[in-house]
Amino acid sequence: MRLFRFCAVFGHALLPSIASASQQQPLLEATSEARSASQWKFNYSSEAPHYFASAYGLLQQWPNTFFPNGHSLVPCEIPPFTKLYHGRRDGDVPPSPEWFAFDIGMSYGIMGSSRDSHMLTYQTTRRVKCIYFDGESATLFGTGQLDSQNLHIWGNTSGPSRPGNGFRGLWEEYARATGLCDWFQEQKLGGPGWGYEGIVRMNAGFEMIWCNFSSPSIRLISHLNITAPLLPKQDEEVIVKAQDDSTLTSYYPLPPSPTRSDRATDPANPPVPPVNNPPWIREPFFHSQAWAWYSSATTHYGSNGDGPGRPETHVKPMSCGFLSYYGPDFLSQALPRAQEEQKSLNLTKDGLWTGPGKSGSRAKAMESLTRRRRYHTLDSITPSDASIMRVNSERVLRDLSSDSPANCSGIDWSTMTNDIVQTYGSSLFRFLNTLERFENVTITNLTSVRDWMIDVRDETHSFLLPFLEYPDDDANDNIWTRDSSLFKTTYSRCRYQFTRLLDPEEGISLGPEESLLQWSVEETTGGICSVLVDVGLAVEGLWEANFNVPIKETSKPEVPTQFKNEVSRWTEGIEQLMAWLGWAGEWVRCEQRCAWDESCFIPMWPMIPFRGGRGGGRGPPRREPGHGGPPGGRPGGRLSVFDELFAFDDPPNNRTFRPPGRGFNPWQPNEDDLWTPKCVKSDYILTGRG
């Protein structure tokens, strides 16, 4: 029975007091009882993992699409000579404020394919400052994506009440833009040519509200009428013109610097989509433009199930000024949220998970825990909490516009948090899969058990490698358990691997924003290390006691249930850790590799193909969008936003336009499309097929 001498090894991890008293006893009866209650005590009510996840996701399309309701804002900078695109449906230069896209695909996607489409390309002339609202913060028909901006401007999520029927589609956009730009001016945080001049947001791609187009911080470098000749009507003759192919070697002349200085305002009436004979029917690039817009967004997917990826690199977050409603100050949201999640996720008052219940499925429960952040909103933030955020942000923006900010250590928190996700994101998923393979190990076959154990140990070893020093041979059996000194030192090295030098005793003192980042990093690494060091040491102990010996195929050992129990303890630990971290997007990808003419699609507003009858889907709780698509009947498979965006020059008609705002949202993506993304071809965006 040498092979399975368990007691000393994992008894302790379960019941330290009993174990230390009974080191030499073969099998602990108490163990099975201890197993039924979860040993892993994750606090699912803690905001720390959300704070962390929000910080690592900055400027990455993928995580912000899975978690669309932004809670955070961060000051940012844009380097000189960055290109910015402004598309229009007229030949004018823009009033102010107006919008820039960082990708031409996005600009053309919104403003192309009309009879008077124009593209203005600008470049920044200096380093420009901005602020960035995370989440899908430019989703105009949403379920909370605009809340952090609205709170900033108006102190509530609804904004000013309007005469008439309230919701006005795209039309609060100018009020929001002006609200934020005026705030910069009033607080003396920025103005034309200095300080903060733009607000960065995301829908399918990143865009920026630019406060003043007369600012010397930007220069117009081309202004083109990009209206393309229409496709012929049926049977119409096509006249092909000869090309002028003279070549130019000199710089092209710059267009004059625009002098337009009027204010942009919300139009008086909401746009109403045309119903019949849409004007774009003969536009030659109508089909490719949607795909080009979508594709441009995929270039900054960032971190996802295929590993790290490029974020929107034109915008550099100044992470030492990161501010988030997940911070411990904002109890007006945290308390009701904790209460609600106690009910919906079966948590105790302390945030501990009580299990899936008698009838519930464990896998489903894990899934809801892992995805819980998706349904967070800022509904309950009080005006006074909103004003705390605003005042904090003014202090931070002012500090970071100085040449020597008072509170910026220089730590790149974006890189640090992304390092952590890269180190543990996919490797935890892989490790879970290795553990789950145990169910297929022939447990009576020692070689087979040992082979599996080698795989497990390879992985735990790489987790512990930076932190573990193997103890002397004569260390006692107790050494591999949770209350050994080996555990404590290994755990501490693991937990503080990024922040050891931030101990105040090292003479470092961080400002309030970086202190919270430090807290969220340490809580996160703490959660990770608590499971990985425990499991890793237990694996070492089992290995040393039972596997690090020559195998004799002739021996026919019984595998005690304790070994199986121990393996399921590890598995549960990793599952609960992953659920607690909630990095759901990191564990989602297209299972097949996409072909050259395909792309891995997730629905990003407004790239949400509507399939007649099937739209809606399961939305966030309390926000039942439900029913099959938008009111008034939409022809199957048109890209939803195009109806709205293309409505600019069309006279209003009588189509009913129900307010999509809260509680109703025709653009609610189908949740399955999000969680099981698949490779699609270019037709998919417009048709929902392919």
Ligand X SMILES: *[C@@H]1O[C@H](CO)[C@@H](O)[C@H](O)[C@H]1NC(C)=O
What does the binding site for ligand X look like in residue numbers (CB under 6 A)? 43, 45-46, 91, 96, 115-116, 154-156, 158, 160-161, 192, 212, 214, 225, 227, 261, 263, 345-346, 350-351, 356-357, 359-360, 364-365, 368-369, 395, 399, 406-407, 436-437, 439-440, 445, 447-448, 451, 511-512, 654
In whole angstroms, how close is the CB of 539 to ligand X at the nearest point? 18
Q: Are 245 and 151 in contact (CB under 8 A)?
A: no
* Residue 116 beta carbon to ligand X: minimum distance, rounded to whole angstroms: 5
Shortest approach of ligand X to residue 451 CB, angstroms?
6
600: CB partners within 8 A, 6+ apart: 298, 589, 590, 594, 677, 678, 679
Least distance in Å: CB of 301 to ligand X? 28
Distance (Å, whole) CA 67 – CA 583: 10
CA separation for the pair 10, 480 (Å, rounded): 8
Q: Which is nearer to ligand X, 80 or 216 (CB)?
A: 216
Q: How far is the CB of 262 from ligand X (least distance, A)?
A: 7
Question: Shortest distance, CB of residue 632 to ligand X, whole angstroms?
Answer: 12
**CB of 38 or CB of 288, closer to ligand X:** 38
Smallest gap from Cβ 395 to ligand X, in A, equals 5
Nearer to ligand X, 598 or 650 (CB): 650
Residue 133 beta carbon to ligand X: minimum distance, rounded to whole angstroms = 18
Q: Which is nearer to ligand X, 295 or 520 (CB)?
A: 520
Nearer to ligand X, 75 or 615 (CB): 75
CA 609, CA 613: separation in Å to the nearest integer?
A: 12
- Residue 216 or 612 with smaller CB distance to ligand X: 216
Q: Tell me the C-alpha distance between 638 and 686, whole Å.
A: 5
- In the complex with ligand X, the residue whose CB is nearer, 194 or 598, is 194
Q: Which is nearer to ligand X, 365 or 545 (CB)?
A: 365
Question: Helices 485-495 & 512-542, crossing angle to 10 degrees?
Answer: 140
For the bound state, the minimum distance from the C-beta of residue 115 to ligand X, rounded and expressed in Å, comes to 6
Pairing mode, strands 72-78 and 316-317: antiparallel
CA nearest to 639, candidates 299, 293, 297, 208: 293
Cα distances from 38 to residues 13, 333, 355, 360, 570, in angstroms, run 12, 28, 8, 16, 11
Q: Report CA torsion sign: 512, 514, 516, 519.
A: negative
Smallest distance from ligand X to CB 22, Å = 29
Q: What's the closest the beta carbon of residue 194 comes to ligand X, in angstroms?
A: 10
Closer by beta carbon to ligand X, 27 or else 352: 352
Q: How far is the CB of 602 from ligand X (least distance, A)?
A: 24
In the complex, the smallest distance separating the C-beta of residue 447 from ligand X, rounded to whole angstroms, is 4
* Ramachandran region, residue 301 (left: φ > 0; alpha: ψ -120 to 50; beta: rest): alpha
606 DSSP β-pair partners: none
Question: Among all residues, whose Cβ is closest to ligand X?
Answer: 357
Give the max Cα distance, the chain: 95
Alpha carbons 466 and 461: distance in angstroms, whole number: 9
**Residue whose CB is less far from ligand X, 261 or 476:** 261
* Minimum CB–partner distance for residue 512 and ligand X (Å): 5
Which residue's CB is nearer to ligand X, number 556 or number 595?
A: 556
Integer angstrom CA distances of residue 303 from 459, 475, 485, 584, 594:
22, 42, 36, 11, 18
Residue closer to ligand X by CB (options 578, 607) is 578
Cβ distance to ligand X smaller for residue 172 or 399: 399
Give CA separation, 212 vs 22, 137, 264, in Å: 75, 21, 10
What are the residues facing 681 on neighbouring strands?
A: 598
At 256 the three-state DSSP class reads coil
Q: 213 and 93 in contact (C-beta within 8 Å)?
A: yes
Q: Which is nearer to ligand X, 399 or 643 (CB)?
A: 399
Using DSSP bridges, classify how beta strands 194-203 and 128-133 pair: parallel, antiparallel or unpaired.
parallel
Is residue 674 a contact partner of residue 375, using CB atoms and an 8 Å limit? Answer: no
Residue where the block lists tokens 């823009």: 94
Q: How far apart are CA 682 and CA 690, in angstroms?
A: 8
The tokens describing 3, both together, are: 């092979």
Give the residue among 217, 183, 210, 226 at the shortest CA–CA distance from 95: 210
Nearest to 70 by CA among 392, 521, 376, 386: 376
Distance in angstroms (rounded) separating the CA atoms of residues 298 and 289: 14
User: Rounded distance, CA 619 to CA 366, Å?
Assistant: 18
